[in-house]
Amino acid sequence: MTFNRRTFLGTAVAGAAALSAPMVMGAGHGRPKVVVVGGGAGGATVARYLAKDSAGEIDVTLLEPSRHYYTCFFSNLYLGGFRSMDSLGHSYGGLAAEYGINVVHDWAIGVDRDAKTVTTAGGHTLPYDRLILSPGIDFVDGAVPGWDVSAQNVMPHAYKGGSQAELLRAQIESMPQGGTYAMVAPPNPYRCPPGPYERVSMVAHLLRDINPTAKILIADPKENFSKQGLFEEGWEAHYPGMITRIGPDFGGDVIEVDPAAMTLTIDGMVNNVDVCNVIPAMKAGRIAEIAGITENNWAPVNAIDLSSKMDPNIHVLGDAAAQGDMPKSGYSANSQAKVCANAVRGALTGSTVFPARFANTCWSLIDTDDGVKVGATYEATDEKIASVESFISQNDESAEVRAATYRESLGWYDGITADMFG
Amino acid sequence: MQRRLGDRLLAAALTASIATVAHSEAGGDPERGAALFNECAACHQVGQGAADGIGPQLNGIFDRGAAHSQGFRYSEGLLRAANNGLVWDYESLDAYLENPRALVSRTRMSFDGFEDPQDRDDVVAYLRLFSASPSDIPEAAPTATAVDHSVAPEILAIVGDPAYGEYLSGECTSCHQASGDSNGIPSITYWPSDDFVTAMHAYKDGVRKHPVMEMMAGRLSNEEIAALAAYFKDIE
């Protein structure tokens, strides 16, 4: 029997009955199959590297609901007016056309680990020899009292890329003069550690232009945050008097919101706000939980190949994984994807597997031409992905260095999106 | 890039003869062009002993058609243009230097272009000095760049494994684009191995400063650097 992609996915076939029986394709029937769930920094990269480096020896399917991917990274720069939304958009066409990846725009809703299949919302069953989950994050239900997904158009999170960022920007632009932009910051661990604070910087930059008497209020359950010294110095220099951050010592962890009344209550004190950017506590993208490979909200993985500690045929990349010392960032996901691709390709085709090496750099923009960065290299240990060496921008850097740091981040954006999408 | 002593002596001799510089027919100032050429000198050499590097040497470009340096691996775009009769003259070079990719699609010359037409005039006037000269162009000094680091010959001699380099390159391509495009982060494709290895060791030894590169290079062994050099030199 000849299977090709069209027959087994049955996109032209009306009757789903033909597909409901478990498919017998897989090891021993043609090429080994890898299904990748999630087409972001982790998933797109791993799919591309597997397809490209195996020269067609591995059948790669990429399951991603968005037809056009808007990067969450750099969306803060869109808020600040430094990038257009379009410039953050990327098509999956190249992955489909140039790498022969089967790009399926659908949601994964189930994983049968014994049968080794993934079921999709569209009613299809995808068999796998290896499954790679890179589903990003979801929010913990009830983490912020008064807020749930039905309120996200009133109090956006804008923490998953795409339309929420445009919504948030529109809301900020409509603020009354002298109004308040409030942010409920998330507890550790969360995606993109400096992200909320770069966002505050970018919102301040926008407000300084369009609404200079506006205020920014941050309720933060954390005492410290990534690049704190650099951000606080920058806020003082560029946006003096605009930003107030209430940490846990002043009740920043006792929060309640009321989307109907547009209030943010911090430790019993009710604040009327004009924009309320709620970024709730996070957990692994839900499909990881559905697959049964999470523990305490995240998926534990083996550092050498990102395989799940609960299932050797499933790998988890990026934010959803409990990845040791690496922060949850696009750069990390892309870095882990390459280690995973090398390991999976080796396991399925016998190619050389090289020792794991990881790196991460996070750039943040505080104001025009004032960029800072933090980063590290990592290695795989039995226990976790462990940090080897790190660096961080310094407080007393010259303006030239900060401007160069910003320009580098632009180069990185082009580099990583080329690495993801070809 | 290694510059020989002879070049420096030539430069000194020629500088003395620039005293009365005539402007090219297009009004360019070759002395100013020589200074502007610093932006090109990372990849291109001119003058006596000029050799191909990341980019081809640029002697004689006005005498023959485009893509004339023997042995240099030009992009398909430029080869095709040359086959179609592209010659470098004032107009074509002005267009190319304004926006290389607009004139030659998929050129490997990673350069954003000189926006100011006077800059282009001046660079072209300078480049004219290195072709068989028409009467109105006097000679000028070729540029010379300093060597910032030297690497032991036995390290330079290590032959890298491009397949290992390809695996290691995953760490580089998040920032340095495999296409050779550069935008705030320099291109690292097609570098001659010695230059690549020297630059990486300069970071590794802390002589060349950049926190990310010092960290990245710091944990690469000599063999790994050689592997990366081999991979990026001939990347497809």
pLDDT tens for each residue of A367-416? 999 999 999 999 999 999 999 999 999 998 999 999 999 999 998 999 99
Looking at the fold, whether A174 and A246 belong to one and the same domain comes out as yes
Stretch (H or E) spanning B196: helix B193-204
The predicted structure's pLDDT at residue A317? 97
Nearest to B184 among A342, A375, A407 (CB): A407
The predicted structure's pLDDT at residue B27? 59
Looking at the fold, whether A159 and A43 belong to one and the same domain comes out as no
Tokens describing residue A61: 């399917």
User: Looking at residues B214-225, what average pLDDT do you find?
Assistant: 94
Q: Which amino acid belongs to residue A37?
A: V
**What global pTM score does this model have?**
0.76
Q: Taking a C-beta distance cutoff of 8 angstroms, is the pair B33, B21 a contact?
A: no
**For residue A342, which residues of chain B lie inside 8 Å, CB to CB?**
167, 170
A357 touches chain B (CB under 8 A): yes
* C-alpha–C-alpha distance, residues A89 and A68, integer Å: 6
**For residue A357, which residues of chain B lie inside 8 Å, CB to CB?**
168, 171, 219
User: Is residue A338 assigned to a domain?
Assistant: yes
Kindly report the CATH number assigned to the domain that includes residue A87.
Answer: 3.50.50.60
Looking at the fold, whether A261 and A184 belong to one and the same domain comes out as yes
User: Looking at residues A25-54, what average pLDDT do you find?
Assistant: 88
Looking at the fold, whether A204 and A94 belong to one and the same domain comes out as no
Last residue of some domain: A322, A351, A380? A351
The predicted structure's pLDDT at residue A2? 40
Last residue of some domain: A280, A306, A339? A280
Tokens describing residue A276: 């309320």
The predicted structure's pLDDT at residue B103? 84
pLDDT tens for each residue of A248-272? 999 999 999 999 999 999 999 999 9
Of residues B181 and B38, more confidently modeled: B38
A237: Cβ contacts below 8 Å, ≥ 6 apart: none
pLDDT tens for each residue of B3-21? 454 445 444 444 444 333 3
Range of the domain at A37: 5-138+283-351
**Cβ separation B184–A411 shorter than 8 A:** yes
Looking at the fold, whether A16 and A109 belong to one and the same domain comes out as yes
Tokens describing residue B32: 């100013």
User: Is residue A168 assigned to a domain?
Assistant: yes
Best residue in A83, A377, A378, A417 for a mutation probing chain B (most B CBs within 10 Å)? A377
Closest CA to A37 of A93, A118, A138: A118
* C-alpha–C-alpha distance, residues B122 and B124, integer Å: 5
Domain B153-233 homologous superfamily, CATH = Cytochrome c-like domain (1.10.760.10)
Best-predicted range by mean pLDDT (A54-68, B97-111, B138-152, B209-223): A54-68
Best residue in B175, B214, B221 for a mutation probing chain A (most A CBs within 10 Å)? B175
Q: Which amino acid belongs to residue A367?
A: D
List the end-to-end C-alpha distance of chain B, in Å, as a whole number.
23
Closest CA to A288 of A335, A337, A322: A322
* C-alpha–C-alpha distance, residues A261 and A149, integer Å: 17
Nearest to A414 among B177, B211, B212 (CB): B177
CA distance A57 to chain B (A): 18
Task: Give me the helices (H) in A149-293, please.
Answer: 163-173, 195-210, 228-238, 286-290
User: Is residue A374 assigned to a domain?
Assistant: no
**For residue A354, which residues of chain B lie inside 8 Å, CB to CB?**
164, 167-168
Looking at the fold, whether A128 and A247 belong to one and the same domain comes out as no
**For residue A411, which residues of chain B lie inside 8 Å, CB to CB?**
175-177, 182-185
The predicted structure's pLDDT at residue A161? 86
**For residue A405, which residues of chain B lie inside 8 Å, CB to CB?**
none
DSSP string, A97-118: HHH--EEE---EEEEETTTTEE
Distances in whole angstroms, Cα of residue B79 to Cα of each of B61, B103, B104: 14, 13, 9
A388 touches chain B (CB under 8 A): yes
User: Is residue A366 assigned to a domain?
Assistant: no
The predicted structure's pLDDT at residue A377? 94
A98 touches chain B (CB under 8 A): no
Instruction: Tell me how many domains chain A contains.
Output: 2
pLDDT tops 70 at residue A5: no
Would residue A391 be called left, alpha or beta, if left means φ above 0 and alpha means ψ between -120 and 50 degrees?
beta
- Determine how β-strand A370-380 pairs with β-strand A357-367: antiparallel
Complex ipTM over 0.85: no
pLDDT tens for each residue of A329-352? 999 999 999 999 999 999 999 999
The predicted structure's pLDDT at residue B138? 27
The DSSP code for B134 is: P
**For residue A408, which residues of chain B lie inside 8 Å, CB to CB?**
175, 184-185, 212
User: Is residue A220 assigned to a domain?
Assistant: yes
**Cβ separation A416–B185 shorter than 8 A:** no
Looking at the fold, whether A177 and A239 belong to one and the same domain comes out as yes
Give the position of tokens 């069953």: A125
Which residue of A lies nearest to B174 if distances are taken between CA atoms? A416
**For residue A338, which residues of chain B lie inside 8 Å, CB to CB?**
170-171
Looking at the fold, whether A164 and A273 belong to one and the same domain comes out as yes
User: Looking at residues B61-72, what average pLDDT do you find?
Assistant: 80
pLDDT tops 60 at residue B177: yes
Q: Label residue A205 by pLDDT band (50, 70, 90).
A: very high
User: Looking at residues B88-107, what average pLDDT do you find?
Assistant: 84
The predicted structure's pLDDT at residue A13? 37
Residue A257 has φ and ψ, to the nearest 5°, of -125, 155
pLDDT tens for each residue of A212-223? 999 999 999 999
The predicted structure's pLDDT at residue B105? 81
Give the position of tokens 């990245």: B216
pLDDT tops 50 at residue B119: yes
**For residue B213, which residues of chain A lie inside 8 Å, CB to CB?**
none
Q: Taking a C-beta distance cutoff of 8 angstroms, is the pair B103, B20 a contact?
A: no
The predicted structure's pLDDT at residue A390? 92
CATH 3.40.50.2300 fits B5-128, yes or no: no
- The domain limits of chain B are 5-128, 153-233
Cβ atoms < 10 Å from Cβ of B38: 11
**Cβ separation A388–B182 shorter than 8 A:** no
* C-alpha–C-alpha distance, residues A320 and A294, integer Å: 9
User: Is residue A412 assigned to a domain?
Assistant: no
Looking at the fold, whether A164 and A243 belong to one and the same domain comes out as yes
pLDDT tops 70 at residue B95: yes
**Cβ separation A375–B173 shorter than 8 A:** no
**For residue B182, which residues of chain A lie inside 8 Å, CB to CB?**
411
Least confident of A31-45, A56-70, B94-108: B94-108
The predicted structure's pLDDT at residue A257? 98
The predicted structure's pLDDT at residue B21? 36
Give the position of tokens 């190249």: A94
Q: Taking a C-beta distance cutoff of 8 angstroms, is the pair A82, A40 a contact?
A: no
Looking at the fold, whether A129 and A187 belong to one and the same domain comes out as no
Looking at the fold, whether A128 and A23 belong to one and the same domain comes out as yes
Looking at the fold, whether A23 and A57 belong to one and the same domain comes out as yes
pLDDT tens for each residue of A97-153? 999 999 999 999 999 999 999 999 999 999 999 999 999 999 999 999 999 999 999
Last residue of some domain: A351, A377, A410? A351
* C-alpha–C-alpha distance, residues A365 and A77, integer Å: 8
Of residues A290 and B108, more confidently modeled: A290
User: Is residue A225 assigned to a domain?
Assistant: yes
Residue A320, exposed/middle/buried by CB under 10 A (0-12, 13-18, 19+)? buried
Q: Taking a C-beta distance cutoff of 8 angstroms, is the pair B43, B54 a contact?
A: yes
Torsion of CA A122, A128, A130, A134, to 10 degrees: 0
Find residues 163-182 of chain B whose CB sits inside 8 Å of chain A.
Answer: 163-164, 167-168, 170-171, 173-179, 181-182
Tokens describing residue B4: 């020989």
pLDDT tens for each residue of A282-331? 999 999 999 999 999 999 999 999 999 999 999 999 999 998 999 999 99
Beta bridge partners of A54: none
The predicted structure's pLDDT at residue B50? 87
B144 touches chain A (CB under 8 A): no
Beta bridge partners of A266: A255, A269
User: Is residue A105 assigned to a domain?
Assistant: yes
Nearest to B181 among A361, A375, A414 (CB): A414
Peptide bond into A189 cis (omega under 30): yes
Q: Taking a C-beta distance cutoff of 8 angstroms, is the pair A48, A101 a contact?
A: yes
**Cβ separation B219–A335 shorter than 8 A:** no
Pairs of CB atoms within 8 A across A/B: 84
